[in-house]
Amino acid sequence: MAEEEDEKPLNFHEMELDDRILKGIAKLGWYQPTMIQEKAIPLLLEGKDVLVRARTGSGKTAAFAIPVIQKILNSKQRAAEQEIKALILTPSKELCHQICTVIKDLTIKCSREVRCLDIAPQVDLSVQRPLLVEKPDIIVGTPSRTLQHIKAGNLNLKTSLEMLVVDEADLVFSFGYEDEIKKLMTYLPKLYQAILASATLSEDVKNLKSLILHNPVTLKLEEPDLAPASQLTHYHLYAEEMDKAAILCSLLKLHLIRGKTIIFVNTVDKCYKIKLFLEQFAIRTCVLNSELPAAIRCHSVNQFNQGIYDIIVASDEKSLEDPGVKKEEPVKKSKRRKDKESGVSRGIDFQCVANVINFDFPLDTQSYIHRAGRTARGNNQGSVLSFVSLKEKVLLDKVEKKIRQGENDESVFKTYHFKLDEVEAFRYRAKDAWKAVTRIAVREARLKEIKMEIFNCQKLKSYFEDNPTDLNILRHDKALHTVKVQQHLADVPEYMVPPTLKSLTGITRKGKRKREHFRTSESSSTKLAVKKSNPLISMQFEGFKKKKH
């Protein structure tokens, strides 16, 4: 009996948390802590330095946010003046926005006592200066942005800081923040509690650990990198570029893929090529990549989470960096300006994603793990479908070898059975549509999208500040129209639907109803007689003439 009591999971109300935090947790619908939260929160409340290693979607953000808020509330009881107590560093602006949102949700019942400020938005430093003068309790930002404010004299952490959190620690160095982190350390006090949260324990994390942590407790949960097979299903389908496009179109038009979907590609150009391709079939999608303004990226993710649109095409450019290349070697620079503080496949909480489609197979194992981590989060079900060309088969084998570690001998990837010959008509349509998306059309689409989004972001900023509800009208899945759209491609005639799917898709029923209605409609002579008998339509009235006779 004693052993059973020891194994009983610890609930939030048993962690000696403030009632106001418990009310915020209840409002978020978190009934029970995840494994990492159960282990990390008590240790952090004790004041220990902790290295948290847990897979994507396991609740790492709340694992460090709850103790930070609790310790600030405790210090408020004896504090003489308002001071900045916690600094949270993340590699991307989207993550900063997300963490700040989680903290504001948790402090909904103590928002006056605990204030949080996101300094990641790329506005002029002078704009954020008045907000920093008020000394909010928690600062969230990227390393470079935080360092800029410190050097400008807007931020002083030397005397007041008590807690430092680095989220997605394994990405901080790979995003190029090594120098900024080392410089930041010189502006921090000698004594503070430090927390590192990471999905992997790479060499970068070990270097960061030696730089920031002091005698830390390492929480490495015995769990796989991804959700179990009962929750997350991996499918693969061998196809070359042209067939990938035909299959993607068929899956979406025949409703074989339902629910929120993220389509991952490796380049920004491919992002727009997929969008323009699907646009021809009246399939609306939203694009996410590092070239778009940070505010737009965050707003796009929020609208996706709210269910305003269901399909995102995201580029995972970070995976293109060869992990074997030394940092000293010169890297070929792109002419296009990209935001290094952006990340799609990592950390961002895309809610209730049912499907992840790898149109381009990721170039390394970690990228696959983090892409797949966008679905099957928490207790939700999810699936990953990877299109694999012959060149990418080697990458598939590497990923399977990695995922199978600690699993049974059964293959992780299931074959997605799709008979391409049954949708030959889609194949012809897709071939023409894919060829219509030329390099010039893609370039024009990129420019048009960026201009549209920058206009929406800058020109309408003051308007949306005064009218926040109207921000929902601003959609990010609008058609770009750089490729000629043929209206007939949006329809799926009955002959194109495979016989095995006619009862499932519900497409043919609409057609039958239309034909039945056409057959049973009235003849033209009957319609003419009805019109003549109606004086309001025929403008002829003979009623008074009859009375005179």
Count Cβ atoms below 10 Å from residue 532 Cβ, excluding itself: 11
DSSP 309-345: -SEEEEE-GGGGS-TTS-TTSPPPPPSS---TT--SS
* Per-residue pLDDT band at 533 (split at 50, 70, 90): confident
* CA–CA gap between residue 544 and residue 549 (Å, rounded): 9
* Distance from chain centroid for Cα 158: 35
The structure's pTM equals 0.69
Considering only CA atoms, give the Rg of the chain.
Answer: 28
Q: How confident is the model at residue 412, as a pLDDT?
A: 86
Q: Residue 31 carries which DSSP code?
A: -
Across the range 238-242, mean pLDDT stands at 92
- Within 13 Å of residue 420, how many CA atoms lie on the same side as its CB? 15
- The 3-state DSSP class for residue 492 equals coil
Q: Between 10 and 483, where is the model more confident?
A: 10
pLDDT at 119: 96
Q: What proportion of the chain, given as a percentage, has pLDDT over 90? A: 47
Class of domain 232-321+336-419+431-459: alpha beta
Q: Is 453 left (phi over 0), alpha (psi -120 to 50) or beta?
A: alpha
Segment 11-52, tens digit of pLDDT: 999 999 999 999 999 999 998 998 899 999 999 999 999 999
CA 339 to chain centroid: 16
Q: Is the pLDDT of residue 524 over 90?
A: no
Mean pLDDT of 343-368: 82
Region 374-396 average pLDDT: 90
Distance in angstroms (rounded) separating the CA atoms of residues 312 and 271: 10
Per-residue pLDDT band for 518 (boundaries 50, 70, 90) equals very low
User: pLDDT, tens digit, for every residue of 92-129?
Assistant: 888 999 999 999 999 999 999 999 999 998 889 999 99
What is the average pLDDT value for the chain, to the nearest integer? 82
**pLDDT band with cut points at 50, 70 and 90 for residue 511:** very low
Please give the distance of CA 467 from its chain centroid, rounded to a whole number. 26
pLDDT: which is higher, 382 or 342: 382
| Band (398; pLDDT cuts 50, 70, 90) | very high
Task: Report, as an integer, the average pLDDT of 469-480.
Answer: 64
What pLDDT does residue 392 have? 93
What number is the average pLDDT over the span 57-66?
90
Average pLDDT of the residues in 144-153:
95
**Domain ranges, ordered by start, for the chain:** 10-220, 232-321+336-419+431-459, 508-548
Q: Does residue 302 surpass a pLDDT of 60?
A: yes
Beta bridge partners of 140: 88, 118
Say whether 232-321+336-419+431-459 and 10-220 share the same fold. Answer: yes
Query: What top-level class would CATH report for the domain 10-220?
Result: alpha beta
User: Picking from 126-140, 432-446, 493-507, which range would have the lowest pLDDT averaged per residue?
Assistant: 493-507
Residue 516 has pLDDT above 60, yes or no: no
Contact (CB, 8 A) for 249 and 278: yes
Is the separation of the CB atoms in 342 and 297 below 8 Å? yes
- The confidence band for 546, taking pLDDT boundaries of 50, 70 and 90, is low
Contact between 114 and 138 (Cβ < 8 Å): yes
pLDDT exceeds cutoff 90 at 64? yes
Residue 496 pLDDT > 80:
yes
CA-closest candidate to residue 450, choices 289, 308, 334: 289
